Amino acid sequence: MEKLSSATALIDKCRPERPVRGLRPRAAGRAARWFIDKFPGDVAYAYKANSSVFLIGALYGAGIRHFDVASLPEIEDAATIPDAHLHFMHPVKSRHAIRRAYDLGVRSFSLDSEDELNKIIACTDGARDLILWVRVAVPAINSRIPLERKFGITGADAARLLVKTRQAAAELGITFHVGSQTSTPDAYVTALGEVHRLIVKAGVMIDRLDVGGGFPSRYPDTDPAPLQDFMDVISAGVETLPVKENIKLMCEPGRALVAEAESLIVRVDARRGNSLYINDGSYGMLFDAAHLGFIFPTRLISRSVDASDPLVPFQFWGPTCDSIDYMKGPFLLPDSIREGDYIEIGNMGAYARAIAGRFNGYGEYDEVILLDPPMLTMYGEEAAEASTAARR
């Protein structure tokens, strides 16, 4: 894959007809090294966030060996990674998927019901080498995408399930997820409090604790707490739990590892007032902008502008014939922007690639590797400076 100094260098070289994914593997590597250094346990990358071989390679090169996988295709793909430890963390799995995963060496499974426990036992022929994680539901606090409604068990039902799972598991774990893009560590305080009460109620000893994902990335409309605050809260909460001193911890970052590692480069095909019609949209990599209200950083890359050209808010329309192909924004760009200009939309490494489809014949992308820093970051000195400035 071609390497370029920046998205601007790409447009200086050619004016691509298709939208372009600009990968920044070095950003993924930096994020992975930060988590491995700061989190007191295994860092399991949430494979669903982005399965680009270039980004997976960067994570692997930085030391990631654990992967949170949620489907059989993800398992079959990730099973080719040398020395990979795969954790099948979807709480509802088909019997075929369980059998095939076990045949591929997976020994770590999550569940949130007795039915699922019985299914796992049956499909592994009563294997005694399983790491079984009971998924508990915890409140979503300051998260962009709450995740507690679909999966998770609570209260007396959870306590009973823990007792039954203890009898079948070589190692028993508890897992939870506080919700995607959680902006403050308060959610982990509450979640660990729920875990504490559940362990006491069940009266069982757990071997592992998975604090899930939810760690945030930075976007123009959000200023999340520093990631170190999350680490401090988790460490302090674990210290109070009635568990063994040698309990094994795990986390499942997805967005936090790869959001900064990919940009989208699009062309303006028309301007109508403050509406820009671009050549990718909600059926492509901008699903989160359309349906979840995410605002991504943007910049004009096809020509330079002077300081007298003010930044103004724009909304985007995608290339399909569907009227829901709409991204409200606001996306700040120079007022002089016009047809034929190119825009870089940054920090799109999480989920955008995975969700993009082929509606109306769109969905084809070129790819390049970019060597410049991401447009916004949670890591390094610049992140600390931005966080300090925002809080003044």
The per-residue pLDDT for range 49-99, each reduced to its tens digit, is 999 999 999 999 999 999 999 999 999 999 999 999 999 999 999 999 999
- The band of 102, judged by pLDDT with boundaries at 50, 70 and 90, is very high
The per-residue pLDDT for range 240-281, each reduced to its tens digit, is 999 878 899 999 999 999 999 999 999 999 999 999 999 999
The pLDDT value given to residue 244: 77
- Strand pairing class (262-272; 20-23): antiparallel
CB atoms within 10 A of CB 76: 13
The CATH fold of domain 26-258: TIM Barrel (3.20.20)
User: What average pLDDT does this structure show over 26-45?
Assistant: 98
Residue 385, pLDDT > 80, answer no
Q: Report d(CA 87, CA 98) in Å as an integer.
A: 12
- The band of 307, judged by pLDDT with boundaries at 50, 70 and 90, is confident
The per-residue pLDDT for range 349-369, each reduced to its tens digit, is 999 999 999 999 999 999 999
Tell me what percent of the residues of the chain surpass a pLDDT of 90: 91
Residue 389, pLDDT > 70, answer no
Residue 248: which residues within 8 A CB-CB, separation 6 or more? 41, 42, 171, 207, 208, 209
Distances (CA, A) of 330 to 82, 230, 264: 43, 29, 17
The per-residue pLDDT for range 149-207, each reduced to its tens digit, is 789 999 999 999 999 999 999 999 999 999 889 999 999 999 999 999 999 999 999 99
Residue 69: which residues within 8 A CB-CB, separation 6 or more? 47, 48, 75, 78, 86, 87, 88, 89, 106
Q: Report d(CA 343, CA 300) in Å as an integer.
A: 5
Reference 23, options 220, 260, 215; nearest CA is 260
The per-residue pLDDT for range 174-189, each reduced to its tens digit, is 999 998 899 999 999 9
The CATH fold of domain 3-22+260-379: Lyase, Ornithine Decarboxylase; Chain A, domain 1 (2.40.37)
Where along the chain do its domains lie? 3-22+260-379, 26-258
Full-prediction pTM beyond 0.75?
A: yes
